[in-house]
Amino acid sequence: MRKIKLQEKNREYYVCKIACVGKNYLEHAKELGDAVPEKPVIFIKPSSSIIFSGEKIIYPEFSNSLHYETELVLLIGKTGKKISKQSALNYIAGYAVGLDMTLRDLQSEAKRLGHPWTISKCFDTSTVLSEFVSAEKIDNPNSLEIKLWVNNQLKQDDNTSNMIYSVEEIIEYLSFYFTLEEGDLVFTGTPKGVGEVKVGDKLVAEIPKVGRLETEVIK
C-alpha cells in the first residue's frame, strides 16, 4: 500500500488502483505511429509501482528501451460509479505531476502479439509522483502547462488543453465501467515528445501550480 498526503488538508489517502489513459494527445498518438483511438485507451498500474520525487527509477534488466511519459495525475477523493461529466470535478481531491515510465520494447512486442501491456507498465518504480496539491487550488485542470526536462534539456512542453479527452470526460468514461474509489489515481495521458532514458539520466517534470518532481535512472 502506498500513501498520498494532501499537504494543505493534512489528509492521507491509501492508493488503491492507478487508472491510466493511453494516447490522449493527438500528437503523441501520431509519434507512436498509432491510429487515434475512437474511445479512450485504458489500462491499470499497481500501487506497488509508485515512487515519489527524490526517489530513483530502477532500470529493469529485462528491457532495453525505458521511456518517460509526463502526465497530469488526479487523486480521487470520494468513491463513485457512473459519475457524470458535470459532477466529475467534485470527485477529485488533488492533482500532481507524474511519470508513467514505460518499457517501449516490451510494449511494442505486446501490441504486436495482441497481448496486454502489463509488464511494460507495472514494473517497480514505473510510477513517479510529485506532491499533490489540493483540488480547490486548481481552477481548470484542462488548461495547465506540462513540462519535462532530461539532463536539463526540455523534452516535453505542452498544455493539458491539448488532451483529446478532458479530465471530466475521463472520469465519466472510467466510472461507467468500474467504481472509482477514494485514493485511486488517474493518469491522464502524455503529450508529444516521449523518448528514451538511460542509466544516469536525471528527470525533472513540472506542472506549474500543481507540482514538480525530480528523479534519476539507476541500475
H or E element at residue 213: strand 211-218
Task: Give residue 163's identity as a one-letter amino acid code.
Answer: M
Nearer to Mg ion, 80 or 189 (CB): 189
| Total residues at interface with Mg ion (CB under 5 A) | 3
CA distance 160 to 1: 29
Name the grid cell of 6. 494532501
Binding piece for Mg ion, criterion CB under 5 A, among 79-87, 161-169, 187-195, 197-205: 187-195
Q: How far is the CB of 102 from Mg ion (least distance, A)?
A: 7
Tell me the sheet residues that pair with 42.
21
100 is a site residue for Mg ion (CB under 5 A):
yes
Q: How far is the CB of 11 from Mg ion (least distance, A)?
A: 27
Nearer to Mg ion, 53 or 120 (CB): 120
Residues making up the chain, counted from first to last: 219
Q: How far is the CB of 203 from Mg ion (least distance, A)?
A: 15
H or E element at residue 99: strand 92-100
Within 8 A by CB and 6+ apart from 68, the residues are: 99, 101, 102, 148, 150, 155, 156, 194, 195, 197, 203, 205
CA distance 214 to 137: 22
Binding piece for Mg ion, criterion CB under 5 A, among 57-65, 69-77, 161-169, 208-216: 69-77
Q: How far is the CB of 103 from Mg ion (least distance, A)?
A: 12
158 is a site residue for Mg ion (CB under 5 A):
no
Instruction: Find the binding residues for Mg ion in span 102-131 (CB under 5 A).
Output: none
Q: How far is the CB of 165 from Mg ion (least distance, A)?
A: 13
69 is a site residue for Mg ion (CB under 5 A):
yes
Tell me the sheet residues that pair with 102.
67
Q: Which residues of this chain interact with Mg ion, rule CB under 5 A?
A: 69, 100, 190
